[in-house]
Chain A
Amino acid sequence: MLRRRPLVQLGAVVALAAIVVVAAILISGGDDDEQAASPTPGTSGEPAVNEEVAKLYDGIPQQGIDLGRKSAPATMVEIADLQCPFCADYSRTALPAIVRDYVRPGKLRYELHFRSFLGRDSVRAAGAAAEAARQDRMYQFADVFYRNQGPENSDYADADFMRMVASQVEGLDVDKVVAAADDPLSRPAVKEGEQFARNLGSTSTPDFYIRKGGVLTPLQVQGTAPEDYAKALDAALGGT
């Protein structure tokens, strides 16, 4: 027959363990129901979630402008402008392979800074990206933006465009993204992205660096094909 005291002890242990487990689940971000509770794109004439983009980034840790594990031995830093057509080419052709082969397995962390030096649409886009970063969805937002990029400085990045892009990113609060595009300079990240590029003496986009052991050095890429980036990264990561 069980004695009363062990039962009381067990009850206390179970209660304490339950509290710790619930706290751990909350710290881990839960099951993302808050994001899933956002209005579902596609239900009111808006575009559906871009599944290809969602799949590319699904499950990879993302915090602000950072993508990938904090424990990665090195960080690839990109400076881009959402209006830049070369950045869009890179995003479509090389970045998916880098995410799949280096970031997802934890070999590399990715840090993406948007500057806004190509014109009004750049500034609006950087504001929207800053809000997407605040919601930890910047990489998906940028990917969809690039896929729909318009002619440079044609004022295409208006509220309707931002709404169309943001609607294709699962869990993104569309209204906040549109509001950020309308008031981009209220977002410190917009100025910080530009300042980051200037401090490095970066004059063109996309521009790439590798941060390893706290030291930031330019990433030497000979070419624009995915294998060119793989070669450069393998050389830069050698010995990690």
Chain B
Amino acid sequence: MTLRRVTAALALVGIAIAGYLTWVHYAGLEAVCVGGGGGCERVQSSRWAELAGVPVAVLGLGGYVLILASLALPEELGAQAAAFLSLVGFGFSAWLTYVEIEKIEAICQWCVASAVIMTALALVSVARVLRDAPPAARAA
């Protein structure tokens, strides 16, 4: 399996997770939290669930879609775009995980799953940028 295919697979999983959280947000529903405890609802209803009025789930969904779309670009440019997007996603996910633990004192399993996916995407994307092969060969 090539790194491009891994990127596509991870991005699709991320879209599914962020898409679910976006749907839950706009439908006014509570996210299904495995094991209960209300952690997901507490996180999703916190003030950190929005960034400048935009739900974080929507930003995540947009990020995953853009990462997937970056696969349509020439390899060198696409790898850089995916690396930028996934590193931003990784950094912000790390921040949100810190907020969940230290500020909200609740864990949303969906957010953790998204953070794991974004971390994997960042690693794969960085590997694509660093891959030591001629750009022309990689674009094929």
Q: Which residues of A contact B20 (CB under 8 A)?
A: none
Complex Cα gap A58–B98 (Å): 16
CB nearest neighbor in A for B94: A21
Q: Which of B92, B103, B129, B130 contacts A21 (CB 8 A)?
A: B92
Shortest Cβ gap from B94 to chain A (Å)? 8
Chain A CB within 8 A of B116 CB: no
Stretch binding the partner chain, chosen from A8-16, A161-169, A201-209: A8-16
Interface of B is mostly: helix
Complex Cα gap A128–B97 (Å): 35
A59 touches B26 (CB 8 A): no
A21-B95, A71-B55 known; A16 vs B84 contact (CB < 8 Å): yes
Q: How many residues of A contact B (CB 8 A)?
A: 36
Shortest Cβ gap from B117 to chain A (Å)? 17
Q: Which residues of A contact B48 (CB under 8 A)?
A: 28-29, 59
Q: Give the contacts of A1-46 with B (CB-CB under 8 A).
A: 1-3, 6-7, 9-10, 13-14, 16-18, 20-21, 24-25, 27-29, 31-32
Q: How many residues of B contact A (CB 8 A)?
A: 36
CB nearest neighbor in B for A63: B47
CB nearest neighbor in A for B45: A104
A31 touches B103 (CB 8 A): yes
Q: Which residues of B contact A31 (CB under 8 A)?
A: 98-99, 102-103
Chain B CB within 8 A of A70 CB: yes
Residue of A7, A25, A106 most packed against chain B (CB within 10 A): A106
Chain B CB within 8 A of A83 CB: no
Interface of A is mostly: loop
B46 touches A60 (CB 8 A): yes
Q: Which residues of B contact A60 (CB under 8 A)?
A: 45-47
A105 touches B130 (CB 8 A): no
Complex Cα gap A72–B91 (Å): 28
A9 touches B80 (CB 8 A): yes
Q: Which of A21, A59, A72, A107 contacts B46 (CB 8 A)?
A: A59
Sample of 6 A–B contacts (CB below 8 Å): A10-B130, A13-B84, A21-B92, A24-B51, A59-B103, A106-B25
Show the binding face of A for B, using Cβ within 8 Å. 1-3, 6-7, 9-10, 13-14, 16-18, 20-21, 24-25, 27-29, 31-32, 58-62, 69-73, 104-107, 240
